[in-house]
Amino acid sequence: MFRIFSNQRAIGRIFCRIERVSQKSTLAHHIDTELVNDLTEAAGVPSSDKHYKGPVCSHNEWDPLEEVIVGRVEGATIPQLTHEVKANTYEKNWPFFKERGGQSFPSLHLLKAQREIEEFCRILTHEGVNVRRPDIIDFRTEYKTPDFTSTGLYAAMPRDVLLVIGDEIFECPMAWRSRFFEYRAYRSLLKEYFKGGAKWTAPPKPQMSDELYDQNYPMTNVEDRHRLAAQGRFVTTEYEPCFDAADFMRAGQDIFVQRSQVTNMMGIEWMRRHLGSQYNVHVLSFIDPNPMHIDATFNIIGPGMVITNPERPCHQISLFEKAGWTIAEAPLPTISDDHPLWLSSKWLSMNVLMLDHQRVVVERSETPIIKLFESLGLTPIRVPMKFAFSLGGGFHCWTCDVRRRGSLQSYL
């Protein structure tokens, strides 16, 4: 809670220092750092003391997980069939978006997904992880900006909107118009983390005017998409920076990212400049006609260990081979063809969450990849998730690891 002037000692120091500062000739040239710190302390906001361990700290995808945000099913709304949604989804699902955009997802399916997510939260708590949840918002509400009108999507996938690098949490500038106000569901948590000492950064929010989207981008021809992806052309243009957090994969001082349908080079360059020389930002590319989010294509699960998608090979895989990494190819998913996956592919089977170097959370029915993890010496934690898959994400997508116990290291 924001404790206004609750520290009496700090208050006393404030009045003494105000009197001292007031005696200075030119206040603008005599900024009192101690006064600022005392005001901060009195307000209940920790100072930027380098020894303070804040509530947000995560350097990679596998250190012991202490606190995680898990998304919500409540309020989930079918996106309208806009240009960017059409480019990121399968043609067989377009009638679903066109006819039902702006409405809730099928209620029985949502109920089953909600039960899965609540069970997931209970299991995480049992495994010693502190679980946090976003606020409940009805995303059916229509909103209008000077550039577009839309309804919302959901607060189901915190991995898409929030990115933690070290002690800094980013509120990412996503590219779908239906996700323009999605950050509002997480603001209560972000303010709490900030008051606890975390760095909270919001990159420039895109206008999402028509200029951000290639209006002539081919939608049905896979061959054209392969060719354009190889040329670096996607439905999002370079009009302004945009990126989804789920296009980034963290391995200590090395951050891996893909140019995708929702993450452009301006967004990647913004992150590179912001992070500075302490981090190496590597752009990866894959043989993928429709890239959107890296974690069902290339999922780092430990120091020097990555799961790859055999249908989407990485052009830069030699970088990891030369570094001596273990590269494990994910087996084919087992989920049935008739199971609805409105916003994703079957490869959510490899979209797993590491609780530490040993434990991995995986869909309980995906026996082939469970056996793969066991062969790698890992301990699978089997959790039902296939109805939650339908909303567009697996365990990695449905979460944002806020705090992992570990230090910044290099693994390349």
For 244, the token pair is: 């989804």
Alpha carbon 251 to its chain's center: 15
| Catalytic choice (57, 121, 172, 397) | 397
Is position 172 annotated as part of the catalytic site? Answer: no
> Angle at which helices 33-42 and 8-22 pack, to 10 degrees?
150
In a 3-state reduction of DSSP, which class is residue 84?
helix
Largest CA distance in the chain: 76
Q: How far is CA 104 from CA 61, 154, 178, 320, 391, in A?
A: 32, 10, 13, 43, 12
Which of 57, 59, 293, 295 does the annotation list as catalytic? 293
**Assigned token pair, 16:** 């003494």
Alpha helices in 1-93 (DSSP H): 8-22, 33-42, 83-87
What dihedral angle (degrees, nearest 10) is formed by the CA atoms of 144, 147, 152, 158? -130
SS3 at position 107: helix
* Alpha carbon separation from 69 to 72, 156, 175, 353, 402 (Å, rounded): 10, 10, 22, 12, 7
Look up 83 and say whether it is catalytic: no
- In sequence order, which residues have a C-beta less than 8 Å from that of residue 19 and are 6 or more positions away? none
Residue 71, token pair as written in the block? 């998304």
Catalytic position from the list 63, 160, 244, 356: 244
Among this protein's residues, is 167 annotated catalytic? no
In angstroms, the Cα distances linking 114 to 175, 189, 212, 365, 389 are 26, 21, 34, 18, 11
Q: In what order do the strands lie in the sheet with 248-251?
A: 248-251, 254-258, 280-284
Catalytic residues, by residue number, are 244, 293, 397
